[in-house]
Amino acid sequence: MKEFLEKKYKLIAFDWDGTAVYDRNSDCHQLACVIAKFLEKGTKIAIITGTNINNINNQFLSLLESDFKQNIYMLTNRGSEVFAYDKNDTLTNIYSKIASQTENDILDKIAIKIKQQIEITSKTNIKIIFNRMNRRKINLNSEWENPPKEMIKQLVIDTNHYLDKHGWSGRIKKVCDMVNTLAKSYQFKNLKITTDGKFVEIGITDKKDSMKWLVENIEVDENEIIVFGDEFGKIDGINGSDYNMILKGFSEITYVSVGVEPFAIPKGIIHEKGGEKKFLEILNRLLANLNN
């Protein structure tokens, strides 16, 4: 038996897409059932995700039946918000970081300049999603609609090929480098960049902010924390979005990736490939420990 499976954790934190669910249409009844049992045992649960609370509510929380909902936290919008249930079981926003007007303006300017700089030298059509809290999403590959997380390696290859095919010789990495250069020119400090192989996302927060919030606000020893994700490895040289959940100075936290992780993953991350099915299997194993 692997050592990490034998422990009793007091805080279980996990990424959503590609870790807890295959995609946004996945059925969550089984997951809701297991999570309810953890909540009942007093285990704190934390969902750390780039998406918004409405998506998590519709897909998952609406199925969660428990008298102990106050033990679950939703850290949404890639580090910008935290939601929890109050004493009346009402879902409540308990933390928000909101970009200033200046920060929002600079995020817009950087996204637009990236689009212009790529399009002026190629036949590539870059679309930007502006209406995300504290961040902008630069779509580098409009040929893939909703790529499943397990296809990430192919997606990265295709995105770089797509850019190349349309006459832009840079890769995803080059776009990120350009973002950094622009951020510097605007004296924008602490710009957060992530990529999932299709989008380059720029914003003021990332999953590190979510992890910091957890260790600062939930009373639990670091060796009683386990964190699950699926994108810890580098994507075309850029840290995957879950990499940002690795907190410096907290070496006792257990990290598990259930993702495909086609690129090298950081040392110390336990790799249990198998996506949402493996995640559920591990949760059931950990639940059994609590009953012993």
For residue 142, the minimal CB distance to Mg ion (Å) is 21
Whose CA is closest to 194, among 242, 140, 160, 149? 242
158 lies in the site for Mg ion, by CB under 5 A: no
For residue 200, the minimal CB distance to Mg ion (Å) is 16
Q: Which two tokens stand for residue 24?
A: 């946004």
196 lies in the site for Mg ion, by CB under 5 A: no
Of the pair 38, 228, the CB lying nearest Mg ion is at: 228
18 lies in the site for Mg ion, by CB under 5 A: yes
Stretch that binds Mg ion, among 12-20, 57-65, 198-206, 218-226 (CB under 5 A): 12-20
209 lies in the site for Mg ion, by CB under 5 A: no
For residue 18, the minimal CB distance to Mg ion (Å) is 4
Name which of residues 222 to 281 contact Mg ion (CB under 5 A). Answer: 230
Of the pair 19, 66, the CB lying nearest Mg ion is at: 19
Whose CA is closest to 197, among 226, 169, 164, 234? 234
Q: Which two tokens stand for residue 286?
A: 């950990």
Count of residues in contact with Mg ion, rule CB under 5 A: 4
Stretch that binds Mg ion, among 13-21, 170-178, 182-190, 197-205 (CB under 5 A): 13-21
Could you count the other beta carbons within 10 Å of the beta carbon of residue 34? 16
Q: Helix count (H) and strand count (E) of the chain?
A: 7, 14
15 lies in the site for Mg ion, by CB under 5 A: yes
Q: Which of 12, 17, 160, 272 binds Mg ion (CB under 5 A)?
A: 17
DSSP string for 226-246: EEEES--SEETTEE-GGGGG-
Of the pair 17, 209, the CB lying nearest Mg ion is at: 17
Of the pair 81, 230, the CB lying nearest Mg ion is at: 230
DSSP string for 113-130: HHHHHHHHTSS---EEEE
In the complex, residue closest to Mg ion by CB: 18
Which residue carries 């609609």 as its tokens?
145
Quote the CA–CA distance of 227 and 288 in Å, as a whole number. Answer: 18
Q: How many CA atoms lie within 13 A of 254 on its CB side?
A: 20
In the complex, which residues of this chain contact Mg ion (CB under 5 A)?
15, 17-18, 230
